[in-house]
Structures are given as structure tokens and as C-alpha cells.
Amino acid sequence: MKSVIIKIIPYLVLFVILNVICYHYSDFYKQEHKYVQRIDDTIDNQSETIFLGDSHVETIKLLNLSDNVGNLAFGADGVYEMYIKVLIMLEKNKNLKQVFIATEPQMFNNTGSSNSTFLGRYLLKIDDSLNVYNKSKLNLLTDRVPLFNDGYIGFALNSLYENFKTSTSQKEKLWYSLTDNQRKEIAVATGISDHRNLMGNESFLEAYRALVSLCKQNNIKIIGVRFPVNENYINQCAEHDLKRVNNFLDALNLDAYLDYSTRISNPKYFADEDHLNKQGVAQLAQIIYKDTKIKITK
């Protein structure tokens, strides 16, 4: 027995060293730090207004946000992540008055998010009655070990793949400097990719309904919002899919619904086909204030 343990020790040491290196130097865990910091800052500020969604909504980070506004949107976030963040805020933020939730069609595709791992520390302390990630407390704890973390492994493999891909020289240029045909080509390709398999995951829809219901039960105003995108991007959402998404949202009876998909079209206000730049977000903030009287900047 002793000899077996002696033989195993070097492998255990190597395993520990590899995990420490991954945790301290991986972009995945640097991203986790930003993710968690954004949640903790919103809790510390007891923000009255929060924004939830993916990278489209996250662009409000380019603004000088009011202390009363918490930007909880994050690239690659999905419905589950929005739902869990609502649970966290209900538990930790007693000043919450209104929630902006992303309603873009791509939010309802069938893609899960590796960001789920970043929420593990909170899931250990809150009551998620839906158990959206289907993880036990033990699973949540082992996720803290990089080489046991499926999210980290997937992120690492995807990063390796991206490094070997030939970069698209067009997208390295400023969006407004591209020709109309170049912008259209890029927007169509991304739009097709983002709008596949919409409304096919009932558990996503259940979580979305739940987050809306939780806000209403706690007298928190819930505002649906679609951020501006290139028209060739949103046009890749099939008409019948868009109708299904809109019918689903209509049935939720949101307090307000702001569809800005095509409200801004000038390329100078965009960073790429589906994200506003700093000028664009500043313009959108003014539009939101005009429509809701909610001022999100200082």
C-alpha cells in the first residue's frame, strides 16, 4: 500500500501544479474574475436598475454608468444565467426596482453557456428551485478544480481551435470603413449562425418565465429590450421563428418592451454587425431615457 501511495504522489503533485497554473494564468479564470466582480459591485452598490443579457446588452459597459445601474449582462450569457442572477439580486439587493432583460431572438437558441461555472459560488448559497444546471453541491465544488471543470475544458479547446483558424481580415477593420457588401457578408454569416434552433429548449423557456414571474412577485418592474443590430443580421432570423419568440414574450405581459433592433442603422455607431460602439450606446442611452425616464448614465 505504501509503495502504491509513493508512486501516486508525483502524479498528484503534477495534477495540483497544472490546476494552479490553469487557475492563475488562464483567460477563462480572468474572465471569471470580471464576471464575479460585476455581480459583487452591483450588490455593493445596491443598484436600483440592472441589465441582463449577452454581449449585445453588455455594451453598456462602455458608458459611465450611474451607481444606481448594475450591468450584469455578459458575453455568452444565456437564459439560465439571467435567471440565476435574478435569484442572486433578490437575495442580496433589496433596492432593486427595475430589470432590463434581453429579448433578442438569439437568446432563445439551443446553446448553453460556459459562464454557468462562474455562478457556482452563488449557487451554493441560494435556492434555485428549478436546478437549471442540474448540479449537486458536490458538482459545484468540483467545478472549482479547472481540470474537473467542463466549462474550462470547453473554453480551452475552443481557444485552441480559434488560434488555428485564419482570422477574417475584414473584421479586423473598423466596421464603418468596410463596404456595404463586406458588412452584409459578415452580418449574414453571423446572423445565420446565431439564429439556429430557436425556441426548441423548453427548460430555457421555463427559466425565462420564472425570472419574469419572480420579478413581478417582488414588485420589480421588468422591461424587455432588444439592442440595435445590423439589419442583415436580424433578417437571418426566420419569420416564423421571430413570430414564435414575439408571441412568447407577449404572453409574459412585461411592464414595457423596447424593440430597438433597427432603431440605429448608421455604421459609425457599430463596432461590428451586432454590437454598438461607445457612440452608439451613448445614443441608445438617450433613447432609453426618452422612452422610460430611466437615466442609466451619470
**Mean pLDDT confidence for 235-250:** 98
Question: pLDDT value at position 1?
Answer: 67
DSSP codes joined into one string, 69-127: EEE---TT--HHHHHHHHHHHHHH-TT--EEEEE--GGGGSS---GGGGGGHHHHTTS-
* pLDDT reading at 140 higher than 90: no
Between 148 and 72, where is the model more confident? 72
Question: pLDDT value at position 178?
Answer: 96
Which structural domains are found in the chain, ordered by start? 27-168+198-228+239-292 (3.40.50.1110)
pLDDT in tens, 116-131: 999 999 999 999 989 9
In the chain, % of residues over pLDDT 90: 74
* pLDDT reading at 163 higher than 90: no
Question: pLDDT value at position 11?
Answer: 63
Question: pLDDT value at position 165?
Answer: 46
Question: pLDDT value at position 172?
Answer: 57
Between 17 and 169, where is the model more confident? 17
Between 152 and 1, where is the model more confident? 152
Q: To the nearest whole number, what is the mean pLDDT of the chain?
A: 91
Q: What is the pTM of this model?
A: 0.91
Question: pLDDT value at position 10?
Answer: 73
* pLDDT reading at 110 higher than 60: yes
Query: For residues 174 and 52, what is the distance between their CA atoms, to the nearest angstrom?
Result: 27
Chain-centroid distance of CA 204 in Å reads 14
pLDDT in tens, 84-109: 999 999 999 999 999 999 999 999 99
The pLDDT confidence band at residue 236, using thresholds 50, 70 and 90, is very high
Question: pLDDT value at position 158?
Answer: 66
Between 221 and 164, where is the model more confident? 221
Question: pLDDT value at position 25?
Answer: 79
Max mean pLDDT among 21-25, 138-142, 273-277 falls in: 273-277
Question: pLDDT value at position 167?
Answer: 47
Question: pLDDT value at position 171?
Answer: 53
* pLDDT reading at 166 higher than 50: no
* pLDDT reading at 151 higher than 80: no
